[in-house]
């Protein structure tokens, strides 16, 4: 063999060894990354969902959301995330059942009043025990059932909310305050069995798209012909929550909030031609057995128990609330009660406002109502009741907004704006949908400014971690507003109970979001928290995501009592 051939052979052997070594290193690195992803991001399971345009979309489920990276993505500290986890903690068996008869039965689950007396005085409490049983009448050995409890008197149109404490062994207790003179009865509903709560939580923590959205793209094509295209859109969230099919999508990242939205790439138009946003279909991820657990006969059902009339007599030593309504007050349970259809607050001294008093209270005020259709109800109520307040024609959808009403004599301006995507509204201009935190950054603030924020109903379709991220941005904007204008009135309106008790919009999901919102604003001076949840959960009207006029009237009285304390 020639020297040249020998040299070439050596070089070839060296090259082969080098390539093998590099390949081995790459393989090892890949394995390490895979293990790191498993430990840090949790087990990843993929689902394939064909879109309307036959695009195959891969979405991922992340079982572990407590990693450091995800906490940083949410914009909060690990300490605060731990605090939220404790507040959100919900008992669960963490086991899948395969037989309906093993779930909690609303027929065999009962409640009883402990040591019922002949009479009580106003301000005393009664103790109620709930005992959960399955369909075989066996006692449940674990907690996690979602109950709603209240005390009520139909003739007096009186009611009060009761917080249910879970002892995690199949028993629950409720301390119910007796706030009015007269008779009262106890009512307990099994909203969801613990097995259903487990299912709801499982799909909430996944990134399965229970809510779909559409984007409308419009632009000029060849020869100036107008082109319109409709595609599927979604939230982009998580370490890799995107649709993964090459150059599949148009991505839209808000610079200030970091929130990312994505739409399938149109066939003919470019990504900058996105014009309208619209809600899409709801997608049920549950299987047939899980759907049986959600049936009407098992969901939101009154359970049997002591139906005795409780006799309550006057208490001469009880004192009415005399604290001035202001920010920084704690919200007790109960936060108040209804009597003759009027909400009596335990937080502060509220009053009923006549239309003329409403106008005087809002004189020289600019009111900013941010959120969803439940704050739009406030806008519509004020529009109807405040003398001279007239809606301006902004050439926007009547229910989609944005909306504005003015009253020139007293210099009153009321705005209502829906929050940004994700939002389940009918077709709207995307330019009219802003993130609440960005809108707050545009407010100068001052003694004349009133800001109301609600952020709940449309977020129940998406991961809890995304909600925390968005609330963190809102909190940051509120802190900046109060820093530059401390006299600004800022009110957080909680979400309310609704008529939906399903895999999509369960009250359990809304309750969890309310807990996050309340916790994250609990230590901020200058912010008022209105617990609308209690006001909507104990009223005699059938629960509705859009509460009846009598409930809205009481909410407005609460709101104005903070704007203009008596």
**Cα three-residue angle 76-78-82, rounded to 5 degrees:** 105
Average pLDDT of span 382-402: 96
pLDDT over threshold 70, residue 279: yes
How close are the terminal C-alpha atoms of the chain, in Å?
Answer: 106
3-class SS at 139?
Answer: strand
Q: pLDDT-based confidence at 69, cuts 50/70/90?
A: low
Q: Judge whether 171 and 296 are in contact, CB under 8 Å.
A: no
How far apart are the C-alpha atoms of 489 and 472, rounded to whole Å? Answer: 19
Segment 70-129, tens digit of pLDDT = 576 788 889 999 999 999 999 987 778 889 999 999 999 999 999 999 999 999 999 999
Is the CB of residue 397 less than 8 Å from the CB of residue 428?
Answer: yes
What DSSP character marks residue 334? S
Dmax (CA) of the chain: 117
Overall fold of domain 100-200+292-313? Immunoglobulin-like (2.60.40)
Residue 247: pLDDT band by 50, 70, 90 thresholds? low
Q: Which residue has the tokens 């209690």?
A: 534
Establish how many alpha carbons lie within 13 A of residue 557's alpha carbon, considering only the half-sphere containing its beta carbon.
Answer: 19
Per-residue pLDDT band for 566 (boundaries 50, 70, 90) equals: confident
Structure tokens at 418: 């829906």
Q: Which of 110-114, 237-241, 373-377, 463-467 has the lowest mean pLDDT?
A: 237-241
Q: Give the span between the Cα atoms of 221 and 215, in whole angstroms.
A: 18
Q: Give mean pLDDT, residues 467-473.
A: 96
At residue 293, the pLDDT reads 94
| Measured distance CA(80)–CA(65) in Å, rounded | 14
Q: Tell me the C-alpha distance between 177 and 162, whole Å.
A: 8
Report the length, in residues, of the chain.
Answer: 566
pLDDT at position 58: 29
Give the pLDDT confidence score for residue 23 in this predicted structure. Answer: 47
Query: Is residue 409 predicted with pLDDT exceeding 80?
Result: yes
Q: Rounded CA gap, 74 and 55, in Å?
A: 30
DSSP labels, 154-189: TTTTEEEEEPEEE-SSSEEEEEEE--SSEEEEEEEE
pLDDT reported for residue 388: 97
Alpha helices in 278-371 (DSSP H): 288-293, 355-361
CB 516 within 8 A of CB 463: no
Of all helices (H) and strands (E), which one includes residue 381?
A: helix 373-385
* In the predicted structure, residue 195 carries a pLDDT above the cut 80: yes
Rounded-to-integer distance, Cα 385 and Cα 355, Å: 5
Spatial separation of the C-alpha atoms in residues 138 and 144, rounded to whole Å: 16
Pair 438, 481: CB distance under 8 Å: no
Cα 477 to the center of its chain, rounded Å: 19
Across the range 218-222, mean pLDDT stands at: 87
- 439 near 356, Cβ under 8 Å? no
Reading the block at residue 398, the tokens are 């009547």
DSSP at 427: S
Considering the domain delimited by 336-563, tell me its CATH architecture. 3-Layer(aba) Sandwich (3.40)
Question: What confidence tens digit (pLDDT) does each residue in 133-185 have?
Answer: 999 999 999 999 999 999 999 999 999 999 999 999 999 999 999 999 999 99
Tokens 């995307």 found at: 430
CATH topology match: 100-200+292-313 vs 336-563: no
Domain boundaries, the chain: 1-41, 44-74+211-282, 100-200+292-313, 336-563
If pLDDT is split at 50, 70 and 90, which confidence band does 500 have? confident
444: CB partners within 8 A, 6+ apart: 484, 485
CA angle 203, 510, 178 (to 5 degrees): 135
Please state, as a whole number, how many other Cβ atoms lie within 10 Å of the Cβ of residue 236. 19
């Amino acid at each position: 063999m020639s020297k040249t051939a020998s040299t070439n052979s050596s070089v070839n052997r060296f090259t082969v060894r080098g390539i093998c070594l590099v390949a081995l290193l790459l393989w090892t690195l890949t394995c390490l990354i895979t293990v790191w992803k498993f430990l840090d991001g949790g087990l990843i399971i993929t689902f394939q969902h064909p879109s309307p345009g036959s695009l195959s979309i891969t979405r991922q489920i992340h079982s572990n959301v407590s990693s450091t990276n995800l906490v940083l993505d949410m914009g909060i500290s690990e300490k605060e995330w731990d605090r939220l986890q404790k507040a959100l903690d919900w008992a669960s068996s963490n086991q899948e059942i395969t037989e309906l008869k093993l779930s909690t039965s609303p027929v065999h689950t009962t409640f009883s009043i402990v040591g019922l007396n002949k009479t009580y005085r106003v301000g005393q409490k009664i103790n109620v025990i709930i005992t959960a049983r399955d369909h075989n009448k066996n006692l449940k050995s674990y907690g996690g059932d979602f109950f709603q409890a209240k005390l009520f008197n139909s003739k007096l149109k009186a009611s009060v909310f009761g917080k249910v404490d879970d002892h995690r062994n199949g028993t629950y207790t409720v301390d119910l305050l007796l706030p009015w003179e007269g008779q009262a009865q106890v009512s307990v509903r099994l909203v969801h069995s613990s097995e259903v709560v487990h299912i709801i939580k499982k799909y909430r923590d996944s990134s399965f798209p229970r809510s779909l959205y559409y984007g409308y793209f419009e632009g000029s094509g060849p020869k100036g012909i107008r082109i319109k295209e409709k595609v599927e859109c979604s939230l982009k969230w998580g370490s890799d929550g995107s649709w993964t099919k090459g150059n599949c999508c148009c991505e839209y990242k808000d610079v200030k909030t970091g929130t990312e939205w994505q739409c399938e790439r149109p066939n003919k138009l470019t990504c900058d031609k996105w014009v309208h946003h619209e809600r899409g279909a709801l997608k049920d991820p549950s299987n047939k057995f899980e759907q049986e657990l959600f049936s009407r006969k098992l969901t939101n059902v009154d359970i049997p128990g002591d139906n005795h009339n409780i006799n309550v007599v006057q208490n001469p030593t009880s004192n009415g609330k005399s604290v001035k309504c202001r920010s920084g007050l704690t919200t007790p349970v109960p936060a108040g009660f209804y009597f003759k259809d009027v909400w009596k607050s335990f937080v502060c001294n509220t009053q009923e406002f006549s239309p003329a008093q409403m106008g005087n209270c809002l004189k020289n005020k600019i009111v900013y109502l941010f959120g969803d259709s439940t704050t739009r109800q406030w806008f519509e109520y004020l529009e109807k009741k405040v003398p001279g307040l007239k809606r301006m024609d902004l050439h926007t959808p009547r229910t989609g907004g944005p909306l504005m009403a003015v009253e020139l004599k007293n210099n009153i301006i009321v705005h209502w704006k829906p929050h940004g995507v994700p939002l389940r509204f009918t077709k709207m201009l995307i330019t009219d949908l802003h993130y609440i935190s960005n809108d707050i950054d545009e407010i100068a603030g001052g003694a004349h400014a009133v800001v109301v924020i609600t952020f709940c109903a449309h977020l129940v379709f998406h991961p809890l971690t995304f909600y925390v991220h968005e609330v963190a941005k809102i909190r940051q904007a509120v802190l900046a507003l109060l820093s530059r204008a401390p006299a600004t009135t800022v009110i957080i309106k909680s979400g309310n109970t609704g008529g939906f008790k399903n895999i999509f919009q369960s009250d359990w999901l809304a309750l969890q979001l309310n807990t996050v919102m309340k916790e994250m604003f609990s230590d901020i001076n200058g912010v008022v928290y209105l617990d609308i949840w209690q006001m909507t959960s104990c009223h005699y009207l059938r629960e509705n995501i859009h509460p009846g006029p009598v409930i809205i009237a009481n909410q407005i009285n609460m709101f104005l009592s903070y704007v203009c304390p008596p």
